[in-house]
């Protein structure tokens, strides 16, 4: 590193201590062992990927550890972690400015500042989002004092929460007809639903991450808010080791309200006042409680029902965290608000790359890949962005990484292993597709999406052992018309056909 009068200078600067930023910095450190790599991050800890297990060609599993940045610097002595939030970027001058008043000059910059929860109501203390360790702990503290909460949203976080929460009534308000719309169709949802009414299975699962312990619970009327410092996103199994228990003795108690959104949130005082004015609350609006039960906050749904609760979880997706970098820089933004990147992870501005949740993939994708803001993609993008930065620096050409050939994700919902491959929900296929199904209640659910006799997507719930074979079939686009229903016949060993 050479200090200049205007500030520290490094050939490569990466912003963000989450999976995308750390992976990018690590790869750069390996590619350029004699260069210093600056990693700027707003959080005091970084996220490290450990124990990577390649499940198949494109499916991978790994653990994630929250570590002090000194451990990263020890592993890669040429990485210098600078713990300070970036406040401003001057792309035309190749400079960034941190909140502690320092200035840094880069040759190539990779922005990996993640995303923030997209809340249904900003600034309302009764509406919580879950993103990082602080917000997960704030949620846990509030839950420990709660009898009933309302969960809004129907994606990954909501699915995990409704299953994991015990001893607290959950009103789950979803826009769709069936649960889990970002991962499943109605058939898979039906397969999973019985798990919500069953007693939660207490299969001891090895804890892979930092344990979140409950510190002395303070009696507070208002929810405990998370700190406003943006930490890295949580990841797979984030709730393990975190006791998600309310004040009651029962296990699950989930009530689902379908096809509705939140119309309005009323604080207790406001609710009581409005109840007295019939104009504000027309007759069809129905409070589902007897009048004497009082809750801190009330949620009015578009289906006319009103639920009182202790607090609301808004699990309604994320918005890319681009704000600190926009002023004075004419970035091209995607429809979801992310920094658009081309197939070399390059943004629309010279020498600025982006990876992970902050970016919007804007290249022509493989027909069976799409972006989803996931841990696995943050790692793949961080790694590949570093390779692209290296190739540009050395004047070499580089092809799009193989990991972008096929969308592949392995996770766990309701204690089932879940693998989703390709266009698993027939995304973007219109009516031009067929579905094949195999389902054994309580055991497995297998769905494949076929187009012109070829497999283009699959959902595998349970221990189906089909992921590798189906991954191959989607990748090689073999014509499977001749196999017909045998493709999912459990008596036919499908691997013998194709492996």
Ligand X SMILES: NC(=O)c1ccc[n+]([C@@H]2O[C@H](COP(=O)([O-])OP(=O)(O)OC[C@H]3O[C@@H](n4cnc5c(N)ncnc54)[C@H](O)[C@@H]3O)[C@@H](O)[C@H]2O)c1
Nearer to ligand FAD, 371 or 464 (CB): 371
∠ Cα 431 435 437 (to 5°): 160
**Contact criterion met (CB below 8 Å) for 144 and 217:** yes
The span of 78-86, 155-163, 206-214, 394-402 binding ligand X (CB under 6 A) equals 155-163
Q: How far apart are the first and last CA of the chain?
A: 52
389 is a contact residue toward ligand X (CB under 6 A): no
The CA distance from 128 to 226, in Å, is 8
231 is a contact residue toward ligand FAD (CB under 6 A): yes
Q: How far is the CB of 19 from ligand FAD (least distance, A)?
A: 4
Q: How far is the CB of 489 from ligand FAD (least distance, A)?
A: 32
Nearer to ligand FAD, 232 or 464 (CB): 232
The correct pick among 380, 411, 425, 464 for binding ligand X (CB under 6 A) is 411
Interface mask toward ligand FAD for 151-170; x: CB under 6 A: -----xx-------------
86 is a contact residue toward ligand FAD (CB under 6 A): yes
Length of the chain as a residue count: 499
Q: How far is the CB of 117 from ligand FAD (least distance, A)?
A: 7
158 binds, among ligand FAD, ligand X, none (CB under 5 to 8 A by kind): ligand X
The DSSP bridge partners found for residue 346 are: 353
160 is a contact residue toward ligand X (CB under 6 A): yes
**Contact criterion met (CB below 8 Å) for 449 and 426:** yes
Nearer to ligand X, 32 or 126 (CB): 126
The correct pick among 13, 19, 254, 374 for binding ligand X (CB under 6 A) is 374
312 is a contact residue toward ligand X (CB under 6 A): no
The DSSP bridge partners found for residue 128 are: 313
Nearer to ligand X, 120 or 456 (CB): 120
Interface mask toward ligand FAD for 122-151; x: CB under 6 A: --------xx--------------------
The CA distance from 495 to 482, in Å, is 16
CA nearest neighbour of 111 among 36, 22, 21, 230: 21
Secondary structure in 3-state letters for 391-421:
HHHHCCCCCCCHHHCCCEEEEEECCEEEEEE
Q: How far is the CB of 145 from ligand FAD (least distance, A)?
A: 21
The CA distance from 434 to 84, in Å, is 51
Could you write out the DSSP letters of every residue in 207-256? --S-----------SSPPPPPSS------TTTTTTS--B-SSS-S--EEE
The DSSP bridge partners found for residue 325 are: none
Nearer to ligand X, 131 or 340 (CB): 131
315 binds, among ligand X, ligand FAD, none (CB under 5 to 8 A by kind): ligand X
DSSP letter for 376, please.
H
Which residues are near ligand FAD by CB under 6 A? 15-21, 40-43, 85-86, 112-115, 130-131, 156-157, 230-236, 238, 321, 324, 356-357, 373-376, 378, 411
Residues binding ligand X (CB under 6 A): 120, 152-158, 160, 175, 181-182, 261, 315-318, 372-374, 411
């Amino acid at each position: 590193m050479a200090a200049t009068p205007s500030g520290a200078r490094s050939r490569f600067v990466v912003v963000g201590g989450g999976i995308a930023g750390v992976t990018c910095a690590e790869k750069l450190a390996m590619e350029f062992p004699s260069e210093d790599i600056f990693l700027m991050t707003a959080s005091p800890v970084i996220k490290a990927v450990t124990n990577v297990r390649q499940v198949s060609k494109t499916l991978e599993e790994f653990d994630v550890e929250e570590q002090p940045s000194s451990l990263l610097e020890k592993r890669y002595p040429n990485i210098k972690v600078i713990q300070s939030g970036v406040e401003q970027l001057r792309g035309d001058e190749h400079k960034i400015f941190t909140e502690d008043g320092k200035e840094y000059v880069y040759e190539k910059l990779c922005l990996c500042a993640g995303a923030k929860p997209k809340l249904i109501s900003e600034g309302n203390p009764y509406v919580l989002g879950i993103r990082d360790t602080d917000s997960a702990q704030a949620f846990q503290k509030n839950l420990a004092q709660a009898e009933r909460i309302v969960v809004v949203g129907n994606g990954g976080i909501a699915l995990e929460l409704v299953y994991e929460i015990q001893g607290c009534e959950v009103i789950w308000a979803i826009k769709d007809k069936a649960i889990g719309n970002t991962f499943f169709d109605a058939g898979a949802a039906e397969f999973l639903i019985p798990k919500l009414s069953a007693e939660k299975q207490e299969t001891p699962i090895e804890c892979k991450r930092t344990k979140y312990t409950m510190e002395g619970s303070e009696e507070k009327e208002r929810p405990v808010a998370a700190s406003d410092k943006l930490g890295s996103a949580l990841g797979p199994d984030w709730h393990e080791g975190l006791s998600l228990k309310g004040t009651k003795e029962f296990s699950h108690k989930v009530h689902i309200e379908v096809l509705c959104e939140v119309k309005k949130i009323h604080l207790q005082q406001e609710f009581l006042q409005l109840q007295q004015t019939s104009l504000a609350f027309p007759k069809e609006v129905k409070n589902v409680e007897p009048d004497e039960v009082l809750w801190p906050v009330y949620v009015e749904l578009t289906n006319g029902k009103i639920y009182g609760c202790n607090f609301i979880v808004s699990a309604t997706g994320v918005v890319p965290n681009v704000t600190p970098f926009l002023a004075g820089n004419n970035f091209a933004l995607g429809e979801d608000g992310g920094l658009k990147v081309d197939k070399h992870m390059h943004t629309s501005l010279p020498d600025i790359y982006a990876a992970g949740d902050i970016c919007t993939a804007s290249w022509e994708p493989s027909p069976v890949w799409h972006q989803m803001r996931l841990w696995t993609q943050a790692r793949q993008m961080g790694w590949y962005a570093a390779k692209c930065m290296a190739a540009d620096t050395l004047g070499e050409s580089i092809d799009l990484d193989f990991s972008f050939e096929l969308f592949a994700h392995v996770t766990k919902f309701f204690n089932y292993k879940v693998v989703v491959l390709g266009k698993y929900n027939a995304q973007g296929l219109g009516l031009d597709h067929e579905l094949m199904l195999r389902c054994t209640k309580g055991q497995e659910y297998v769905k494949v999406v076929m187009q012109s006799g070829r497999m283009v997507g699959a959902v595998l719930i349970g221990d189906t052992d089909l992921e590798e074979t189906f991954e191959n079939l989607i990748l090689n686009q073999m014509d499977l018309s001749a196999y017909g229903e045998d493709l999912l016949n459990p008596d036919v060993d499908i691997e013998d056909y194709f492996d």
